[in-house]
Structure 1
């Protein structure tokens, strides 16, 4: 597996700090893609064809809608809807035709026909589920985040200064811990995978313990006896804990 090395954005993400550098990168990347899909780039033929074919997931549709460029979003949604409708009607007609063709009064044929119709219906449900989950922004973000995760592993393996930055960080959120572990498994030899886990797991454990302590402080602050005690870093422990567990910023 080959990835382009994007070292500058990764260094910037580590300098930014926080619970997870890959969350920092993903947040910036998501905002950039939302802006680009509501800008001039969406009128490029290749991009428009891909939007028409794939569309957006519910979450990214909401982000695009909240961006307030309703005309741009309406134009994209209209052409995507037209392409979806054509495929949808074709599948519906095929399903209805198959159901009618298998209608019979012979008992054995009824049982066989019911199984075939059930299979066709299940395939139709699977296709609908796939359509609902498709998203051009998710696809592009996934590719880029894989590249960033590879870059982190590359820098960890080749740059002593970066390794120091990683060791002084708070590790990753769970989602991006999975991602870096996956990329390490796919790209590193076994002994380096072991070294990576040896470096990253203690960071994760320490980070979780710190969050648990800060979250406990935050909860105790609601006791009237602790009203005058300063919260310090525990003030934002709840959104940081949620981010650590889910990979999403609580804006």
Structure 2
């Protein structure tokens, strides 16, 4: 297989025999983005302008804190606060409580929106790291579809994989119509659905044996593939590695 910027990580992900190669890629992209954000780049004006504008989501604030470069994070937060204070001062200077419409008044639990609250939600939903990951992650998915159609060696890796997690399976199904045509589209749809069903059943059986193995009557029986069934089972459903330790700066 001829490697390039995107095929090498894809090949690594599919040869890792992970429950989902795209979880594997996403974790790598996230760790790279955290290292980049709290590396020398945070002192660059163009990068700081982006982090000042976008901020971070809750998950990535926690992961940036866990990473260990507290001084670097302090610099980033300090100028982000300065930018946020200026933006909020302008935004809140003419803010009034939103006026609910007729149907919102009828349903008292329905929140009323306004330009102010819409702007605040946009700020809360933005994240520099998420956006950096998403830009690259989409390219990996596009490369996946390209290789699936053009490279028999990669197709074999796909067929010998454990399929995808539910989240990334859904994303691939959404992208497939724009990436595949004819026989290739049919092949991917039928094969990926079959793989999903088979691997969900495999994990269900492994979790079932994990439960049975904790019965004293099975104390001497082998674990088979069930000892780590819980973290793998959660990954298959949610696309996360619950067993991972916090990602930290190398010393």
- Aligned with residue 214 of structure 1, among 201, 206, 211: 206
Inter-CA distance 150–5: structure 2 relative to 1 (3 Å threshold): farther
- The worse-fitting range, judged by mean Cα deviation, of 172-181 and 185-194 is 185-194
TM-score if structure 1 supplies the norm length? 0.86
Q: Following TM superposition, by how much is the alpha carbon of 1:56 offset from its aligned partner in structure 2, in angstroms?
A: 0.7
Q: Does 1:182 align with 2:169?
A: no
Q: CA RMSD in A?
A: 2.3
1:223 — aligned with what? 215
2:66 — aligned with what? 66
1:17-54 Cα offsets, whole Å, 9 max, x none, are 11001111111111111111111112222211111100
Look up the SS of the partner of 1:171 in the other structure: coil
Q: Where do residues 46-61 of structure 1 align in structure 2 (5 Å cutoff)?
A: 46-61=46-61
Q: Does 1:90 align with 2:90?
A: yes
| Alpha-carbon distance between aligned partners in 1 of 2:197 and 2:149, rounded to the nearest angstrom | 22
| Alpha-carbon distance between aligned partners in 2 of 1:131 and 1:125, rounded to the nearest angstrom | 10
Q: Following TM superposition, by how much is the alpha carbon of 1:212 offset from its aligned partner in structure 2, in angstroms?
A: 0.3
| Alpha-carbon distance between aligned partners in 2 of 1:167 and 1:19, rounded to the nearest angstrom | 13
2:121 — aligned with what? 129
Q: Following TM superposition, by how much is the alpha carbon of 1:129 offset from its aligned partner in structure 2, in angstroms?
A: 1.8
- For this pair of structures, how many residues does the alignment match? 233
Q: Following TM superposition, by how much is the alpha carbon of 1:121 offset from its aligned partner in structure 2, in angstroms?
A: 5.4
Q: Following TM superposition, by how much is the alpha carbon of 1:169 offset from its aligned partner in structure 2, in angstroms?
A: 0.5
| Alpha-carbon distance between aligned partners in 2 of 1:72 and 1:151, rounded to the nearest angstrom | 34
Is the 2:235–2:241 Cα contact (8 Å) retained in structure 1? yes
Inter-CA distance 226–195: structure 2 relative to 1 (3 Å threshold): same
Look up the SS of the partner of 1:234 in the other structure: coil
Which structure has more helix as a fraction of its residues?
1
Q: Following TM superposition, by how much is the alpha carbon of 1:191 offset from its aligned partner in structure 2, in angstroms?
A: 4.6
Look up the SS of the partner of 1:235 in the other structure: coil
Look up the SS of the partner of 2:204 in the other structure: helix
Q: Following TM superposition, by how much is the alpha carbon of 1:120 offset from its aligned partner in structure 2, in angstroms?
A: 8.4
- Aligned with residue 236 of structure 2, among 222, 237, 244: 244
Give 5+ residue unaligned stretches, structure 2: 106-110, 245-251
| Alpha-carbon distance between aligned partners in 2 of 1:205 and 1:83, rounded to the nearest angstrom | 49
Is the 1:5–1:147 Cα contact (8 Å) retained in structure 2? no
Q: Following TM superposition, by how much is the alpha carbon of 1:225 offset from its aligned partner in structure 2, in angstroms?
A: 1.4
Q: Where do residues 1-251 of structure 1 align in structure 2 (5 Å cutoff)?
A: 6-96=6-96, 122-189=114-181, 191-250=183-242, 251=244
1:194-220 Cα offsets, whole Å, 9 max, x none, are 221012111111110100000000011
Inter-CA distance 20–120: structure 2 relative to 1 (3 Å threshold): closer
Look up the SS of the partner of 1:194 in the other structure: helix
